[in-house]
């Protein structure tokens, strides 16, 4: 005999999946509201009576011919539509909250761990000193017209305060690399000699100067773009002059670029979470 408890669960889960996946009630609400609105306006404007279109119920004809009832019904349709949007928005808000908690508790710690592993790999295999630090940045919407680059993940030797830094899209080494707008971009800048900085390099804002380690001597930025949008910026910096030669030679480039390209999907999730979309 069939296990009806299991069958019932199949039906319950299947129905729940269908409602969450396709949101049919939202579309049904839209279709009904739009159809009735068009019908009401069409018949009202054209003075159609029941004999012209016998499929239109007599009650609807009476509703249309009574101006007060017509406006009340029309307002009711608008309210129903607004309530539908509100309910859908509330459901999406709950889902975003769950996703945000998951990202905070699971994904960000996992990426932090991988960045620490990448750092240790550079130390072991590339003869880089312990001064090396690695962080991940994504574009973040500040207001309607303004975007800035903010840190979302970091190695253990980067203090919490640096998460508060927010870089303009043309600011510092990050901005210099970002504006290259190439599909794959690797840029190294030695910041110890201001006379040798690129012409398009913009110094850090005062707020960021306070937040970011002032002893940094060089920064390697690896950016990966896909479908016209940036996947993320991987920043590798150091306080050690001994590291500058290794970074300038490009010994870290391949591993760093491979790392960010392989994690494009995760970085995109971090970007969406950061921008609440």
User: Per residue in 89-146, pLDDT tens?
Assistant: 777 778 788 888 999 999 999 999 999 999 999 999 998 999 999 999 998 988 888 8
Instruction: Count the neighbouring beta carbons within 10 Å of the beta carbon of residue 271.
Output: 19
Question: How would you classify the pairing of strands 133-141 and 166-168?
Answer: unpaired
For residue 127 the two structure tokens come to 């003869």
From CA 236, how far away is CA 3, in angstroms rounded?
Answer: 58
**Highest averaged pLDDT of the listed ranges 4-18, 142-156, 216-230:** 142-156
Dig out the tokens for 43 from the structure. Answer: 């018949």
CA dist 153 and 210 (Å) reads 20
Q: What average pLDDT score do residues 177-187 get?
A: 80
Instruction: Please give the residue that has the higher pLDDT: either 193 or 134.
Output: 134
Q: What distance in Å separates the CA atoms of residue 154 and residue 98, rounded to the nearest whole number?
A: 23
d(CA 151, CA 163): 5
Q: What is the DSSP letter of 100?
A: H
- Alpha carbons within 13 angstroms on the beta-carbon side of residue 200 total 11
pLDDT confidence of residue 90:
77
Which residues neighbour 114 within 8 Å (Cβ) at sequence distance 6 or greater?
259, 263
Residues 223, 253 contacting (CB under 8 angstroms) = no
Tell me how crowded residue 246 is: count the other CB atoms within 10 A of its CB: 20
Measured between alpha carbons, how far is 77 from 84 in angstroms, rounded to an integer? 11
Dist. CA 154–CA 135, nearest whole Å: 4
pLDDT band, very low/low/confident/very high, at 196 (cuts 50, 70, 90): confident
Instruction: Note whether 134 and 234 are within 8 A (CB).
Output: yes
For residue 151, with 0-12 CB atoms within 10 Å meaning exposed, 13-18 middle and 19 or more buried, which class applies?
buried
Taking Cα atoms as reference points, which of 185, 175, 109, 172 lies closest to residue 139? 175
Confidence check: pLDDT of 2 > 60? no
Sign of the alpha-carbon dihedral angle for 190, 195, 199, 201? positive
Residue ranges of domains in the chain, CATH in brackets: 4-93 (no CATH), 103-274 (3.30.450.40)
Classify 96 as helix, strand or coil: helix
The percent of residues in the chain predicted with pLDDT above 70, rounded, is: 76
Note the pLDDT tens digit of each residue in 204-236: 999 999 999 999 999 999 987 666 666 689 999
Instruction: Round to whole Å and give the CA distance between 230 and 185.
Output: 11
């Amino acid at each position: 005999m069939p296990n009806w408890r299991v069958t019932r669960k199949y039906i319950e889960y299947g129905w729940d999946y269908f409602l969450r996946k396709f949101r049919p009630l939202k579309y049904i609400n839209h279709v009904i509201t739009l159809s009735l609105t068009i019908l009401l306006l069409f018949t009202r404007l054209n003075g159609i009576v029941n004999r012209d279109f016998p499929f239109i119920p007599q009650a609807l004809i009476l509703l249309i011919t009574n101006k007060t009832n017509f406006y009340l019904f029309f307002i009711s349709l608008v309210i129903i539509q607004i309530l539908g949007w509100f309910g859908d928005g509330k459901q999406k808000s709950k889902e975003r909250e769950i996703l945000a908690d998951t990202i905070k508790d699971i994904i960000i710690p996992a990426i932090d761990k991988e960045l620490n592993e990448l750092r240790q790999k550079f130390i072991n295999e590339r003869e880089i000193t312990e001064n090396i630090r690695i962080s991940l940045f994504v574009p973040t919407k500040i207001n309607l017209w303004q975007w800035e680059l903010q840190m979302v993940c970091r190695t253990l030797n980067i203090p919490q305060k640096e998460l508060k830094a927010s870089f303009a899209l043309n600011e510092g080494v990050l901005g210099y690399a970002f504006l290259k707008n190439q599909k794959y971009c690797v840029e190294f800048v030695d910041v110890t000699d201001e006379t040798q900085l690129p012409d398009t390099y913009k110094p850090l804002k005062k707020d960021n100067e306070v937040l970011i380690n002032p002893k940094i001597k060089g920064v390697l930025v690896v950016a990966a773009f896909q479908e016209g949008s940036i996947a993320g910026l991987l920043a590798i910096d150091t306080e050690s002059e001994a590291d500058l030669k290794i970074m300038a030679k490009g010994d870290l480039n391949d591993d760093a670029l491979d790392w960010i390209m392989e994690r494009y999907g995760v970085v995109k999730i971090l970007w969406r979470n950061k921008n609440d979309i």
